[in-house]
Amino acid sequence: MIALRVKVVGIKTGGFAKKIPLAIARGLNEGGDKVRTQVQRALKTQTGVTKYASITSRMQDSGRGYARAAPGKLAYQIIAKGKGIPIKEFPVKDTGHGIDARTWGVDHLFKRSFGMPGRGVDGFRARLTDKRLPIRKLYGPSLPKELVKDKAAEVFIASAQGVVPAAVLKHLLKSVG
């Protein structure tokens, strides 16, 4: 958590006191949007997906992958929901010995996996036992788990400490006049 304290000195705070929550919310939203972009870029390289849209489309909560700040709620949240990313979103190939996918930037050969004829990358499955059935779809990293570790967490802390306070201060100074 990043805490930001503001002390107003030497200014008549009559109308300014009412503008403070709105200015802080605007600064949090501006800084938060920049931090969210950096985190999503870090998640793309961390997970190894082929398209940036694979990350942004899974960071959605009621239309957004973030909860914006408002004067009554001075917090900006970056939200990731869902289970693992389908294996078709990664560089993947059927080797004949199983499905080989480059998740987390490293080649992984999925045990007991195979490709269903005519289905392309949508047909990659794995057996749960040594028998014919049951089978399941193949998934890669889970964004809620990846969001709080490794490169994404480092990028969040580094960019939040640099960007958010400056954006909040900018909007506070604008509201002073």
Q: Distance (Å, rounded) from C-alpha 37 to C-alpha 94?
A: 33
pLDDT digits (tens, 9 = 90+) for 123-161: 888 899 989 899 999 999 999 999 999 999 999 999 999
Domain boundaries, the chain: 16-80+147-176, 86-140
- The alpha carbon of 117 is separated from its chain's Cα centroid by a whole number of angstroms, namely 34
pLDDT digits (tens, 9 = 90+) for 25-61: 999 999 999 999 999 999 999 999 999 999 988 886 5
**Which run of H or E residues covers position 86?**
strand 84-86
pTM of the model: 0.82
Enumerate the β-bridge partners of residue 111.
Answer: none
Q: Distance (Å, rounded) from C-alpha 99 to C-alpha 46?
A: 21
Distances (CA, A) of 50 to 55, 103, 128, 142: 10, 10, 27, 15
pLDDT of residue 60: 66
